[in-house]
Structure 1
Amino acid sequence: MAYKVLVINPGSTSTKIAVFEDETLIMEETLRHSSEEIGKYKSIYEQFQFRRDVITKALKEKNFEISTLSAVVARGGMLKPIAGGTYEINETMLEDLKIGVQGQHASNLGGIIANDIAKELKIPAYIVDPVVVDEMDDVARITGLPGIYRKSIFHALNQKAVAKRYAAENGKSYEEINVIVAHMGGGVSVGAHKQGRVVDVNNAVDGEGPFSPERVGFIPMGDLVEMCFSGKYTYEEIKKLINGKGGFTAHLNTNDAREVIKLANEGDEKAKLVLDAMTYQVSKEIGKCAAVLFGKVDAIILTGGIAYNEVITNAIKERISFIADVVVYPGEDELEALLKGALRCLRGEELPKEYK
């Protein structure tokens, strides 16, 4: 039996959609939203009907009959911490997406829109591996200050997808392998995957791990405290420095790794040093994950948009290839990753999980 699946991935200024028949792509669209359109709404949830209508319009313009769909799957939002996997959308999840139980993000709309379309058609609606996937060992959560614990917020969808891809290409299941996955995009997350669980990973949002094109990563806490109480910055400005205006953006006024490489190749010493520092920090984070896995590492996977840059991947390989073989899967095909999660449930290869 063939399955037709609608995939929805909302971003801050766009909504990506695709329709697949099994693994075959039927249509794909990136629906752009202007700042004027988005700016009319006071909250993420208030954008629901607008984005729902834009999707419906795009499908009609492509003459796609939604009544032929078997399921709808969407990128998960800022839910409560959950284990990885595919979840069937339920009322508890919808309520948490509406209020943004761990924060406001456009991805919160994905499950709400998917459920609305699926409910009308009486078909299943799913989310897959949202950024709040939390499978960390308890020992990884402890900090030196009681009451403050490390959180698992990372590029779970792509990290899990490439780890499963590596396992399949090597004739194994995800639950049989130990791999380290470094996702490098606007943010960088490096996860230790141990037999189907991400047992440790840096919080790619709140200042852990390597710096990236837009994020500061780890910085000395004493200096950060001084900044916070200097009177020069508001709370919102500090948060934006940590996530949005840090990394390459702070040092070189660009969040484009290609531009940084170009500057370095043209002899810009500052650009070269900053670039070297990022690859150094990514490599060091990979080394930390190797310790988490007791050195038993089947492979190290480099992925994300920055993994297209061989200058960066080669620099990282030079430092960490002694740990294990290094595999590069550049990019992040989130639409396909979401599809595969839905198909596994539709085909009975795994049961959808229940969000509580």
Structure 2
Amino acid sequence: MDQNRKILAINPGSTSTKIAIYENTKEIYKKSIEHPSEEIEKYRHIADQYEMRKEALMNFLKEINFDVKELSAVVGRGGLLPPVQSGAYRVNESMVERLAKRPVIEHAANLGAIIAYEIAKPLEIPSFIYDSVAVNELEDIAKISGMADIERDSFSHALNMRAVGIKVAKELGKSYTDMNLIIAHLGGGMSVSIHKKGKMVDIVSDDEGPFSPERAGRVPCKRLIQLCYSGKFDKNTMKKKLRGKGGLISYLGTNSAIEVEEKIKNGDEYAKLIYEAMAYQIAKGIGELATVVEGQVDTIIITGGIAYSKMITEWIKKRVQFIAPVEIVPGENELKALALGALRVLNGEEIAHEYDLD
């Protein structure tokens, strides 16, 4: 193996661009570049932020005196494309055009591939995405929604979920492709997935399941329709009620789990009710996915930033540990997952897919 492979990993978020440089499997630099909301609000479309974010990233590399010519590859967070397979994809002009001009949904993650491609192209090195938000390995039966006009999508935190699935399987002395895992990602948004012998065959997405700090999750459809046509709210306001102003923000006015737990410690019974309801709904999502493999679940994994909370994880564990043993893997290891995925491709351990979708 080439001992000098350096990989730049890029993970754009709503108000930050997280980056890391890896030398083989070792992280040598890491930085979260913050973008003030007043700066973000200048741009009508997320794709328009590309130049601003790339410039901020390149300025940081100059500050640390890192020469981009040392890079072997650049890898970005995979955005909201049409359905793709798990693993690596080479970024090409077709992917960049789709994400910039015709994304399935506007999302900061769409910028990952664009920035990676534009940095890598003049250096004549490959650029990749890995485990895109749009990874879709749903079995045919899981695509049925109940309304012929709507097919279920598969948008989830696939990158972190698959990374922790592979990690936990290895720690248990098993292969990820030999296990049935239920993995719940708990962050500002939440999703739960069932991994059947290495394939993510079904999910509970952020609009189908538990509410989260910022998202409403599954809400009663009839009541939602009434609210949409009540004349009180326009389309954008309703979208924000579901994503951005839902969940803990809607009930408690904050998206901070730390603040909510402080309220609970100070005797706020309403805050406790809402917070425990979030854990209750997460447990329900885990429970429903257990039916996909007829209860044959090897391990349940709870991950994401909120998995640091013992209060939440204990509430969830109490309700689901009858299904399978529960492993807590707190945090989001997305930059590492990106870098190691790209490294596997460079080392010939994995073959990158070629993006050729419309």
TM-score normalised to structure 1 length: 0.96
Residue 210 of structure 1: aligned partner: 210
Q: Offset at 1:215? A: 1.1
1:180 aligns with 2:182: yes
Residue 229 of structure 1: aligned partner: 229
1:62 aligns with 2:83: no
Q: Which runs of 5+ in 2 are unaligned?
A: none
Q: 1:84 aligns with which of 83, 86, 101?
A: 86
Q: Offset at 1:169? A: 1.2
Please give the residue correspondences for 1:1-356 in structure 2 after superposition, counting only pairs within 5 Å: 1-2=2-3, 3-204=5-206, 207-356=207-356
Q: Are residues 166 and 143 of structure 1, via their aligned partners in 2, closer, same or farther at CA, if it must alter by over 3 Å?
A: same
Q: Offset at 1:33? A: 1.9
Partner Cα distance (2:223, 2:38) in 1: 38
8 Å Cα contact 1:18/1:26 also seen in 2 = yes
Q: Offset at 1:110? A: 1.3
Q: Offset at 1:182? A: 0.6
Partner Cα distance (2:144, 2:176) in 1: 27
Q: Offset at 1:338? A: 0.5
Partner Cα distance (1:41, 1:220) in 2: 34
8 Å Cα contact 2:143/2:152 also seen in 1 = yes
Secondary structure at 1:186 match in 2: coil
TM-score normalised to structure 2 length: 0.96
Secondary structure at 2:350 match in 1: coil
Partner Cα distance (2:61, 2:228) in 1: 48
Equivalent AA in structure 2 for residue 123 of structure 1: I
Q: Offset at 1:48? A: 2.0
8 Å Cα contact 2:78/2:133 also seen in 1 = yes
For residues 196-233 of structure 1, what are the alpha-carbon distances to aligned partners after superposition, in whole Å with 9 as ceiling and x for unaligned?
Answer: 111111221xx210111111111111111111111111
Q: Offset at 1:266? A: 2.2
Partner Cα distance (2:37, 2:284) in 1: 39
8 Å Cα contact 1:78/1:100 also seen in 2 = no
Equivalent AA in structure 1 for residue 13 of structure 2: G
Partner Cα distance (1:63, 1:318) in 2: 50
Secondary structure at 1:165 match in 2: helix
For residues 294-348 of structure 1, what are the alpha-carbon distances to aligned partners after superposition, in whole Å with 9 as ceiling and x for unaligned?
Answer: 1111100000111001011011111110111100000102110101110110111
Equivalent AA in structure 1 for residue 41 of structure 2: G
Partner Cα distance (1:64, 1:295) in 2: 50
Secondary structure at 2:147 match in 1: coil
Partner Cα distance (1:247, 1:46) in 2: 29
For residues 261-287 of structure 1, what are the alpha-carbon distances to aligned partners after superposition, in whole Å with 9 as ceiling and x for unaligned?
Answer: 222232212111112211111111111
Equivalent AA in structure 2 for residue 337 of structure 1: A
8 Å Cα contact 2:192/2:205 also seen in 1 = no
8 Å Cα contact 2:138/2:154 also seen in 1 = yes
Q: Offset at 1:132? A: 1.1
Secondary structure at 2:145 match in 1: coil
Partner Cα distance (2:73, 2:334) in 1: 17
Bigger Cα displacement from structure 2, 261-270 vs 308-317:
261-270
Q: Are residues 74 and 234 of structure 1, via their aligned partners in 2, closer, same or farther at CA, if it must alter by over 3 Å?
A: same
Bigger Cα displacement from structure 2, 258-267 vs 230-239:
258-267
Bigger Cα displacement from structure 2, 307-316 vs 172-181:
172-181
Secondary structure at 1:250 match in 2: helix
Partner Cα distance (1:39, 1:250) in 2: 22
Equivalent AA in structure 1 for residue 270 of structure 2: K
Equivalent AA in structure 2 for residue 320 of structure 1: V
Partner Cα distance (1:162, 1:31) in 2: 25
Partner Cα distance (1:21, 1:232) in 2: 54
Equivalent AA in structure 2 for residue 27 of structure 1: Y
Partner Cα distance (2:219, 2:73) in 1: 44
Partner Cα distance (1:243, 1:41) in 2: 19
8 Å Cα contact 1:100/1:108 also seen in 2 = no
Partner Cα distance (2:271, 2:42) in 1: 39
Partner Cα distance (1:53, 1:272) in 2: 43
Seq. identity, %: 50
Partner Cα distance (2:51, 2:6) in 1: 24
